[in-house]
Amino acid sequence: MSRFPIPLSAPHLTGDELPALRRAIESNWIAPVGPEVDAFEAEFAEAMGGGHALATTSGTAALHLALRVLGVAAGDEVLVSTLTFCASVNPVLYLGATPVFVDAERRSWNMDPALLAQELDRRGRNGQLPAAVIVVHLFGQMAEMNPILERCRHWGVPVVEDAAEALGARYGSAGDPVRWAGTMGDVGIFSFDGSKLLTTSMGGMLVSPRRERVALARKLARQAREPVAHYEHEEMGYNYRMSNLLAAFGRAQLPALDQRVAQRRAVFDAYREGLTGLPGIHFQPEASWGLHTRWLTAIQVDPERSGTTRERLRTRLLSQGVESRPVWKPMHQQPVYRRLGFAALGGAVADELFEEGLCLPSSSSLSPEDVQGICAIIRQEVSGD
Ligand SMILES: *Cc1c(COP(=O)(O)O)cnc(C)c1O
């Protein structure tokens, strides 16, 4: 194999980052806000087919702002996918609201639309509607948005898309107008953490089709300063704007979006080829309703049929310098939230995907030889050599 150790998901630079940083530094705009931030937001919104965008310090910050903009406040309840990273949930707690976790379904590993609909109908009839629903698009694949949006709109519940892992994912079959992950709900958020498909080292983006929502988020992200000469504050804000330097970095990354998606999908194809015929190894399915970016290639290890377990396979890979990671431990199983006694709707599917799910190295810079080498280790483990 060409490179050890092999990380799960490495940053992939275009080569334009250094000149972009130099340009930003030479302009002496060393601040959050500045011309690079304005340009990054405009270019990002355009890449997403329109709407409005706000660059933030992180995806978590963007989600916090999204919930504030939608009016989520102390005492409210928010329904959120249980199979996700804690960053999808913590902003709910920052606001003193309560999360209710919703199980995944097997076709996409994302929020189960039928379970959500059932819960919204029950709550709607009892006058207990949640303040928002946060739908997470896991590992680069969108949840089944049409039925989710239909039910949420029926009951007037706003939808936040956590598209941190799904930049570049699409909804709709070939021939339909393209609808990007993050642009279908009321507010969408993205992450430019170092492990994500595109990166600014750290950073995030909030998008919305509604100008006034992004304008409010923009104000809150700079300590909610009122538009007067002195510092005047009528409400509590945050310090969440992206640095002008990192926005320049992001502008150098953005043009590579389509290429990165194609490269991640090529990595997945190489795994699929390298693991064909192996018993008890199943990939996260690509659902019929959209394009999976394969930000991460994830497999499910059936212990009966494969003769091994997710954990044995992970340890074997690690001993050969290959980093893999269990699928997210569901939020309803996390001690921090269990202690607080948050409710969960179902959870058995997410539990199984955590027990048996493993994310394989998926960097867009991974070579076919690297993938072949990793597949060889998996084959050894599964065939019991
Ligand atoms: C990465 C990630 C986030 C948070 O993004 P940061 O930029 O790291 O704050 C939120 N949700 C999900 C599902 C993520 O994977």
Residue 310 Cα to ligand 1 midpoint, Å, equals 24
Going by pLDDT thresholds of 50, 70 and 90, the confidence category of residue 1 is very low
Token pair in block for residue 252: 């150098």
Query: Residue 178: its pLDDT value, please?
Result: 86
Q: Determine if ligand 1 sits within 6 Å of the CB of residue 136.
A: yes
Query: Residue 385: its pLDDT value, please?
Result: 62
Query: Residue 173: its pLDDT value, please?
Result: 75
Going by pLDDT thresholds of 50, 70 and 90, the confidence category of residue 4 is low
Task: Mark which of 255, 270, 304 sits at the end of a domain.
Answer: 255
Residue 87 Cα to ligand 1 midpoint, Å, equals 5
Residue nearest to atom 14 of ligand 1 (CA): 164
Residue at 153 is within a domain: yes
Domain containing 354: what range? 257-383
pLDDT in tens, 152-183: 999 999 999 999 999 999 999 777 788 999 99
CA distance 105 to 354: 13
Residue 149 shares a structural domain with residue 198: yes
Q: Determine if ligand 1 sits within 6 Å of the CB of residue 88.
A: yes
Phi/psi-derived region of residue 147, left when phi > 0, alpha when psi is between -120 and 50, beta in every other case:
alpha
What 70-75 contacts at long range (C-beta under 8 Å, 24+ apart), as own/partner pairs, is 70/131, 70/132, 70/158, 70/160, 70/186, 70/187, 70/213, 71/131, 72/97, 72/131, 72/132, 73/97, 73/131
Residue 122 Cα to ligand 1 midpoint, Å, equals 30
Residue at 305 is within a domain: yes
pLDDT in tens, 87-145: 999 999 999 999 999 999 999 999 999 999 999 999 999 999 999 999 999 999 999 99
Q: Determine if ligand 1 sits within 6 Å of the CB of residue 199.
A: no
Which atom from ligand 1 is nearest to the alpha carbon of 193? 7
Task: Mark which of 199, 231, 255 sits at the end of a domain.
Answer: 255
Q: In sequence order, what are the residues at sequence separation of 6 or more whose Cβ sits closer than 8 angstroms to the Cβ of residue 207?
A: 44, 45, 48, 51, 52, 53, 54, 182, 183, 187, 188, 189, 190, 214
Number of domains in the chain: 2
pLDDT in tens, 200-251: 999 999 999 999 999 999 999 999 999 999 999 999 999 999 999 999 999 9
Going by pLDDT thresholds of 50, 70 and 90, the confidence category of residue 384 is confident
Residue 193 Cα to ligand 1 midpoint, Å, equals 7
Residue nearest to atom 10 of ligand 1 (CA): 87
Residue 63 Cα to ligand 1 midpoint, Å, equals 9
pLDDT in tens, 254-309: 999 999 999 999 999 999 999 999 999 999 999 999 999 999 999 999 999 999 99
Q: Determine if ligand 1 sits within 6 Å of the CB of residue 161.
A: no
Q: Hey, which of 67, 81, 88, 243 would you mutate to test ligand 1's pocket, going by the most ligand atoms within 8 Å of its Cβ?
A: 88
CA distance 243 to 140: 26
Residue 122 shares a structural domain with residue 224: yes
Residue 243 shares a structural domain with residue 370: no
Going by pLDDT thresholds of 50, 70 and 90, the confidence category of residue 31 is confident
Residue 161 shares a structural domain with residue 262: no
Which CATH number fits the domain that encloses residue 302? 3.90.1150.10
Q: Determine if ligand 1 sits within 6 Å of the CB of residue 183.
A: no
Query: Residue 355: its pLDDT value, please?
Result: 98
Residue 263 shares a structural domain with residue 222: no
Q: Determine if ligand 1 sits within 6 Å of the CB of residue 198.
A: no
β-bridge pairing 187-191 and 159-162: parallel
Residue at 83 is within a domain: yes
Residue 286 Cα to ligand 1 midpoint, Å, equals 21
Task: Mark which of 216, 233, 255 sits at the end of a domain.
Answer: 255
Going by pLDDT thresholds of 50, 70 and 90, the confidence category of residue 3 is low
CB count within 10 Å of CB 192 equals 30
pLDDT in tens, 64-97: 999 999 999 999 999 999 999 999 999 999 999 9
